Amino acid sequence: MKIPALVAALLITFAHPVAFAAEADAEILYLLEFVENSGCDFERNGTVHDSADAADHLRLKYRRGGKYASNADQFIDRLASESSWTGKKYTVTCDGTQQLSGEWLHQALDDYRQRETP
């Protein structure tokens, strides 16, 4: 009877990080699609970009720096909120209202999590 308990413990131990990673990936992919489909303008280092360009840039940053973001909150805080070159904060303008991209993305993530929680 000790073998099944050991197997169960191993499954729980090793399956949890996989499930966590899958959830983090789903949230980050949601955020990238959210940015791309937003129709908002993004300012990065003084240059305004449309939502498709902004999403492409964030995908590039995630591909290159994903090791610094093991979850969606870290993705926002470490990759999607400011320039890694200049440290200047990114902004987003939607319907004439400008805000920091980090705040905007955290709100989008909170909304997503509320919809996905049973």
What is the per-residue pLDDT across 17-73, written as a single tens digit (0 to 9) for each? 434 456 778 999 999 999 999 999 999 999 999 999 999 999 999 999 989 999 999
Q: What is the DSSP letter of 82?
A: B
SS3 readout for 37-66 = HCCCEEEECCEEECHHHHHHHHHHHHHHHH
Phi/psi at 24 (nearest 5 deg)?
Answer: -60, -45
Entry pTM: 0.79
In a domain, 49, yes or no: yes
Q: What is the pLDDT of residue 117?
A: 80
Residues spanned by the domain of 63: 27-116
Q: What is the pLDDT of residue 23?
A: 72
From residue 102, alpha-carbon distances to 22, 78, 92, 110 in Å are 22, 9, 9, 12
Rounded mean pLDDT of the chain?
Answer: 86
In a domain, 44, yes or no: yes
Is it the case that residue 16 has pLDDT exceeding 50?
Answer: no
In a domain, 20, yes or no: no
Q: In the chain, how many domains are there?
A: 1
Per-residue b/e over 20-45, b at no fewer than 16 CB within 10 Å? eeeebeebbebbbebbbebebbbbbe
In a domain, 16, yes or no: no
In a domain, 10, yes or no: no
In a domain, 7, yes or no: no
Cα 84–chain centre separation? 16
